Amino acid sequence: MKSKDQSARIYTAKVITDSERKTADGEDYTYIEAKAYMVRTEKNKDLIAEIDAGIKKETSVGCAVRDISCSICGRNIKTEGCEHKKGNVYGGKICCYLLSEPTDAYEWSFVAVPAQKNAGVIKSFNPSEEREKLAEWAREYTDELKSDIVRSAATVIPGLTGESVGEICDALSLKSLKALRDALRMSAQKNMPVIRQLESSDCDNGNENSEYKI
Ligand SMILES: [Zn+2]
């Protein structure tokens, strides 16, 4: 993942169970609904148009889980493995991999074919109705950029006080703040490289991201 690929920020998510709908396995249909905001810029224009037109629709969640188990035999896929194959039917039951104890969520992205069928965009904002909220999120986003800048500046330019950095930030546009944040972050990371804390499991070698998909 690269920050330049990021177009929106998820600000809330919840799990919803719809007992009127059933899964292929006959259980109540449960899904995650996330809300995201994005800045209306020249760069995002095409993406927004594609979302509105329903061209960008299917999504996938990138996450890490502590355990993956087989729905048929209950064995831990990561540590034990089993002979059952995902999607095959055994004694009238579809084999699924059960993901439990999510430990991290990396990203929510548009994909050509979602790992989870029906995963996709369900509703877009009407900005005129949401203007107040959008302004608030824009403020939060600006504050977040500023604190990122102050943090990275402390590593890259230790001679400059946080207060001075804050004053410089106040004079900058959102676009310049973002450019400064990205540049400082890159320099700060060179000084202290960020190491990913979670290791991926080595099951399902065919697709390097498949162990994270739900
Ligand atoms: Zn099994």
| Ligand 1 centroid distance, CA of 181 (Å) | 47
Instruction: Please list the residues that pair with 62 across neighbouring strands.
Output: 107
C-alpha 82 to ligand 1 mean position (Å): 5
Tell me how far the alpha carbon of residue 86 lies from the centroid of ligand 1, in angstroms: 9
CB 117 within 8 A of CB 62: no
Phi first, then psi: give them for residue 165, nearest 5 degrees.
Answer: -60, -40
Give 182 Cα–ligand 1 centroid separation in angstroms. 45
Could you give the count of Cα atoms lying within 13 Å of 46 in the half-sphere of its Cβ?
1
CA of 116 to the centre of ligand 1 (A): 20
Model pLDDT, residue 122:
67
CA nearest neighbour of 97 among 115, 119, 118: 115
Cα dihedral 107, 109, 115, 118 sign: positive
Which of these, 16, 7, 37, lies nearest to 137 by C-alpha position? 37
**pLDDT at 75 (0 to 100):** 94
Contact indicator for 213, 106 with CB cutoff of 8 Å:
no
Look up tokens 């991201």; give the residue: 209
Tokens linked to 208: 């390097």
Query: If you measure from the C-alpha of residue 88 to the centroid of ligand 1, how many angstroms do you get, rounded to a whole number?
Result: 11
Q: How far is the CA of 97 from the centre of ligand 1 (A)?
A: 9
Distance 58 CA to ligand 1 centre (A): 29
Question: What pLDDT, on the 0 to 100 scale, is given for residue 17?
Answer: 94
- Averages of pLDDT over runs of 10 residues in the chain (214 residues) are 79 91 85 89 89 84 88 91 91 89 84 70 61 78 90 88 89 90 87 57 52 56
